[in-house]
Amino acid sequence: MIPQLNVTQLLREASSGNRQSLDQLLPLVYSELRGLADAYMRRERSNHTLQPTALVHEAYMRLINQREVNWENRAHFLSIAAETMRRILVNHALAANAAKRGGKETRVSLDEAIGFRNGEEIDLVLLDEALTTLASFDPRQSQIVELRFFGGLTVKEVATVLDMSTATVEREWRTAKAWLHDQLNNK
């Protein structure tokens, strides 16, 4: 686990325009970003053209080039990183669908270990739309879904990242899954 204080301090310095902090930050967060990317890519089709390393690098470049973000802490950074990776993959899926001109929609296989639809396939673009709607009225549940489903984190890890109790994470996770299931089955 990365020392919380070091990452938080570097993020705050980076927000203030200190470019050297960014150079020090990447080695501290790279393994966690790579873990997020690996989790995302495990759910993608096997012949996906985007590799986990490229996903990490593209997400990191987008994150560090943001000028209006006041990074609160490591959890805030990882949450935004997970959302950024999701956006990159959704944009990639939309571009692929546009190139196919109405071809088969891009689907991802859901991990049975998470218990979300028991390994059925789901449309990534529809999931993104549903998560965006969820975030509009319950940002915390949306964060939990991103970290659990896309980030592959356990309930305990999500609780640590978001500084919440495991019971709260479990309750919010169940509620968010039920809402998403309903949204995705009614599309």
Q: What is the pLDDT of residue 47?
A: 65
- Residues paired with residue 13 on neighbouring β-strands, in sequence order: none
CB-based contacts of 105: which residues, under 8 Å, 6+ apart?
97, 123, 125
Q: Apex CA 31: angle with CA 30 and CA 32, to 5°?
A: 90
Burial class, 51, CB count within 10 angstroms (exposed 0-12 / middle 13-18 / buried 19+): exposed
* Domain assignments of the chain as residue spans, ordered by start: 4-185
> Sign of torsion, CA 129 120 40 145?
positive
Q: Which residues of the chain have pLDDT under 50?
A: 1-2, 101, 103-119
Q: What is the pLDDT of residue 2?
A: 47
Q: What is the pLDDT of residue 169?
A: 92
Q: What is the pLDDT of residue 50?
A: 75
Mind listing the pLDDT tens digit for each residue in 54-77? Answer: 888 888 888 877 666 777 777 778
Q: In this structure, which amino acid lies at residue 115? A: G
Q: What is the pLDDT of residue 187?
A: 61
CA-nearest of 139, 102, 121 to 184 is 121
Are 29 and 94 in contact, with CB atoms under 8 Å apart? no
Q: What is the pLDDT of residue 76?
A: 79
Q: What is the pLDDT of residue 160?
A: 82
